Amino acid sequence: MTPGRTLDRTRQELSEFLQLHRRKLGPADVGLPAIGRRRTPGLRREEVAALAGVGLTWYTWFEQGRDIGVSESFLLRVAKALRLDDAECCHLFLLAHGRPPPAQAYQWPSVSPLIQQLMDDLRERPAYVINLRWDVIAWNQAADRLFGFASRALQERNFIRMVFATPELRTRLPEWREDARRLLAHFRCDLAVAPRDDPAIAALTDELQRLSADFRLWWTAPDTGDYSRGVRAILSPEDAARLDFQHEILTVDEHRHLRMVVYFSGQPAGAAGDGC
């Protein structure tokens, strides 16, 4: 397929997507009075434009799939006006910009009930979901027993922050130096696909450089080529017994960069790193 035809198809899909979601909403859904009979279901274009705070002509051209440039703020205002959820907002950005929205555009991410059920069914295997910034989004009881996610404040529930800036956890990691360097290498690998000007990620790395001399030293050090998204060894919170782990990574939502880290007991000698 030629690039021109691909572009035309994307514009048509964008137009159909916007019309579909506009027609799903009635005036009462967005706090508008229902005045008179409507020949077609849903909101009118002028109502969406007013709710989004954008010009009617510009929104009309956008919905028609015309070749116009729109900003991130324009897309976010339209997404809010159409009551799009995170996945729908992401699809809007992919159609209009060819990439997901910035991470800060979302509310705090969540996982579907089925993903939570999957983790809960792994009763003996610690499992948690992280985003691109390594915020811990969801977890099962086995992971909570091991890491105490539920007892931590939201801003402290970030795995790379926990490893580098939580003394209590550091004392329970018998191979802290090796684990921390592997985790940091993988964290840097993940950030390679993040927007360079993402303020949430910049704030996290700035904070960690203030809180941890080791993070500050290793942050700009050459890559070791040894990666891990989970700790290889940890002392049990119940009896301080050493627990060794391997990990597998499952993609939960590729557009929002949500991954599930599952811990498996046992670490054979010479096991390879997780890879980037």
Q: How far apart are CA 72 and CA 65, in angstroms?
A: 17
Closest by Cα among 184, 177, 126 to 159: 184
Tens place of pLDDT for every residue, the chain, 276 residues?
Answer: 444 444 566 788 999 999 999 998 888 877 777 666 667 778 889 999 998 898 999 999 999 988 888 888 889 889 888 988 877 888 898 898 888 776 555 556 778 889 999 999 999 999 999 988 899 999 999 999 999 999 998 888 999 999 999 999 999 999 999 999 999 999 998 888 776 667 778 888 999 999 999 999 999 887 767 788 899 999 999 999 999 999 999 999 877 788 999 999 975 434 445 666
Bridge partners of 242, per DSSP, are: 235
**CA dihedral (161, 167, 172, 174) positive or negative:** positive
Q: How far apart are CA 75 and CA 125, in angstroms?
A: 40
Closest by Cα among 110, 144, 127 to 230: 127
Contact 137, 268 (CB under 8 A): no
- Cβ neighbourhood burial of 208 (10 Å; 0-12, 13-18, 19+): buried
Collapse the DSSP code of 220 into the 3-class scheme (helix H, G, I; strand E, B; otherwise coil) and give the result.
coil
Contact 149, 142 (CB under 8 A): no
HEC readout, 173-202:
CCCHHHHHHHHHHHHHHHHCCCCCCCHHHH
Q: How many CB atoms lie within 10 A of CB 266?
A: 9
Q: How far apart are CA 185 and CA 160, in angstroms?
A: 11
Pairing mode of beta strands 136-139, 242-253: unpaired
